[in-house]
Amino acid sequence: MQGDLAVGIHDLSVSTTQFALTHETLAAHNGADIGKYHVGIGQRSMSVPAADEDIVTMAAAAAAPVVGRAGADRIRTIVFATESSIDQAKAAGIYVHSLLGMPSATRVVELKQACYAGTAALHFAAALVRQDPSQQVLVIASDVSRYEPDDPGEATQGAAAVAMLVGADPALVRLEEPTGLFTADIMDFWRPNYRTTALVDGQESIAAYLQAAEGAWKDYTERGGRSLGEFRAFCYHQPFTRMAHKAHRHLLQSQGHAADEDTVDRAVGGTTAYNADIGNSYTASMYIGLAALLDSAEDLAGRPVGFLSYGSGSVAEFFAGTIVPGYRSELRSGLHRDVISRRRIVDFTRYRELHAFSFPADGGDHPAPRETTGPYRLAGVFGHKRIYEPR
């Protein structure tokens, strides 16, 4: 049963990278029909990090407006979700904590389970707030999606971060109970420690996603959740935006509902606008979908929204949230559109240079080229230490 204390997302901010590659440019390189990208997977462009950008710089850029508005005094915990980790021991959130000048009396941890980890972080944060409603939790999901050149997954690449402030009496989304869970041991997508790019079985991954969506929904309904017809919209993890359509169509059909294109588009179409330009941002993807939905023209005040979070390997969770009346006054719609529109479009040669860039692992001093116009940058790697700075 839902407790009396309202807990959820109080603020939300999105950031992405300096550069972008259009799918027209990618199609011209590999000879693909542009419809394969624009229609088949629903992508227009992909965000590409500069040499001095990574998950930390994007995370700090997303979090700075949130901390700036709320202040840091009540933020007792930072939870950083990523599958693009930069260190096997140190949480990336500690760098963000330092860049933003946050108090030392703060708990900082990093969570990993493919693209699902952002949702694990959100529920971890909500539990901490229910334990102590006076505190707030900064949840950050930040990732860079990378595949081998000419891999089928190359067209789905992207990079972005989302920062969410979780607290009592939220201004944007009130989280509901119960949640529905599903886990299965499936090798559909993975990245061993010795690789910088992911391995993926595309068809297996789609099948695993659909199986997980159905399984999480089954657990949700068995625990007394809402019916499908109660939801105004659905936010799905979007490895590519058409996957949200596939997943919702499958869920509708599995429950005996009509699943024509208009019905599916009404449910998920408002969530895809940003991801179509950014590409796959792994842990941040579903919450970028939420940002797009909230920033859309429709007034969603008081309406329930369904969330299906999926992470390969695989773990999924279905949960619900109600959009809080008055939410529009708290949105960052202009900022979100600006961080996407300000990206500089690169040609294919420059994209491949950026894709191939890496710092030597010899322990020497390696300054990063000054490329980003974002608020924070990776200064370089010096004696095996990553050094970040305000730009």
Q: Judge whether 154 counts as a catalytic residue.
A: no
Selecting among 97, 237, 248, 336, the annotated active-site residue is 237
Can you read off the two tokens belonging to residue 64? Answer: 């700075």
Q: 182: which 2 tokens?
A: 């599903």
What distance lies between CA 340 and its chain's CA centroid?
15
The DSSP output letter for 115 is: B
Rounded distance between C-alpha atoms, residue 166 and residue 269, angstroms: 26
CB-based contact 43:23 (threshold 8 Å): yes
Neighbour-count burial for 337-372, b at 16+ CB within 10 Å, e otherwise = bebbeebeebeeeebeebbeeebeeeeeeeebeebb
User: Do residues 145 and 159 make contact, with C-beta atoms less than 8 angstroms apart?
Assistant: yes
Two tokens, residue 351: 């994209």
- Collapsed DSSP state (helix, strand, coil) of residue 307: strand
Catalytic residue from among 10, 23, 53, 83? 83
CA distance 268 to 135: 33
Within 8 A by CB and 6+ apart from 19, the residues are: 47, 48, 49, 50, 343, 344, 345, 346, 350, 351, 354
What is the spatial order of strands in the sheet that 19-22 belongs to? Answer: 45-48, 19-22, 344-345
Catalytic annotation present for 23: no
Query: Of 383, 263, 266, 342, which Cα lies nearest the Cα of 61?
Result: 342
Residue for token digits 């980790």? Answer: 85
Instruction: For residue 83, indicate whether it is catalytic.
Output: yes
Q: Out of 110, 115, 176, 248, which one is annotated catalytic?
A: 115
Residue 79 CB-half CA count within 13 A: 24
188 and 203 Cβ atoms separated by less than 8 Å: no
Query: Looking at the annotation, which residues are catalytic?
Result: 83, 115, 237
